[in-house]
Amino acid sequence: MAENGSKQGVVECENCIHFREAPYEALRTGCYHPDLMQAKQKAAYLDEQQIPGDHTVLNRNGDCSYYEAPEPKPSIWKRLFSLEA
């Protein structure tokens, strides 16, 4: 369930912050949540050896409890004004 206690509907893996897709974001497509990975590495230079969890199996019913929505991007005006400060 969601951390704020509200009930989640059907979630899409592609909208989660833990989902990475090959070839641009990772070597393998899958869920990179630390608790769901098949093999994880502590050192950053060993990232190529990580094996993500199978997102199709983990989210078969669309109710993944590890789903986290990405933070919305601030408006273009807020991003421009933050550069001035």
Query: What pLDDT does residue 85 have?
Result: 53
pTM: 0.70
Of the candidates 11, 5, 9, 7, the residue with the CA atom closest to the CA atom of residue 31: 11
Mean pLDDT of 5-27: 82
Between CA 69 and CA 71 the distance in angstroms is 6
| AA identity, residue 81 | F
**Residue 3: which pLDDT band, with cuts at 50, 70 and 90?**
very low
Confidence of residue 78 (pLDDT cuts 50, 70, 90): confident
Q: What is the per-residue pLDDT across 22-74, written as a single tens digit (0 to 9) for each?
A: 888 888 999 999 999 998 888 888 888 889 999 989 889 988 889 999 999 88
